[in-house]
Amino acid sequence: MDIPSITRLLLRLTHALAAAAWLGGGVYYVLALRPQMRQADEEARALARAAQREFGRWSSMAAFLMVGSGVVMMWDGLADGRGTIAYVVLLAVKVAAAAVAFWLAGSFVRSRRTVPLPGRKVPRQPSRFDRAWLILMLGSVAFLLGVILSSVYPTGIGQR
């Protein structure tokens, strides 16, 4: 194997592991943590919030690694001229789903910190639970499209 092939493999592994961590954290949050927090006492909620803050650091790093490795892989996949129209369309849908999921995740964090000014109405937004499910669904779509893209569009590892 040559250096470019090893680099492509490492980029894909980084991208896949970061995606699994980010999406796995979302699955855990939506399916396990949120339902339990509704029934928990204040001490348990405080512990869960602390755990969420800590995972938020890991989640941010995973998002950074996903975007960074994804941009490099996207450029590599399109620059060699082997990207078909189907590849480009799937890639565009994947990028759009991921971008919206990241934006919603960012706005999810901001909405918890936002305190409305007295006397001002706050526009109706989806509840955090609805948004959490939407983030999870969009992240899953992006993840599955990534699996499809990596299956349909091989890395070229070991090929000449």
What's at 101, amino acid-wise?
Answer: A
How is the chain split into domains, by residue range? 3-114+124-152
- On the question of pLDDT at 21 being above 90, the answer is yes
Q: Read off the pLDDT of residues 25-72 as tens digits, 9 standing for 90 and up.
A: 889 888 888 888 888 899 988 888 888 888 888 888 999 999 999 999
Q: Please indicate whether residue 16 or residue 158 has the higher confidence score (pLDDT).
A: 16
Whole-number Å distance between alpha carbons of 1 and 60? 32
- On the question of pLDDT at 82 being above 80, the answer is no
CA nearest 84: which of 38, 149, 130? 149
Whole-number Å distance between alpha carbons of 15 and 105? 18
Q: Which residue has the tokens 């639970």?
A: 129
Q: Read off the pLDDT of residues 98-153 as tens digits, 9 standing for 90 and up.
A: 999 989 988 655 555 444 555 655 555 555 558 889 999 999 999 999 889 888 77
Q: What is the mean pLDDT of residues 4-28?
A: 91
Longest dimension (CA), the chain: 68
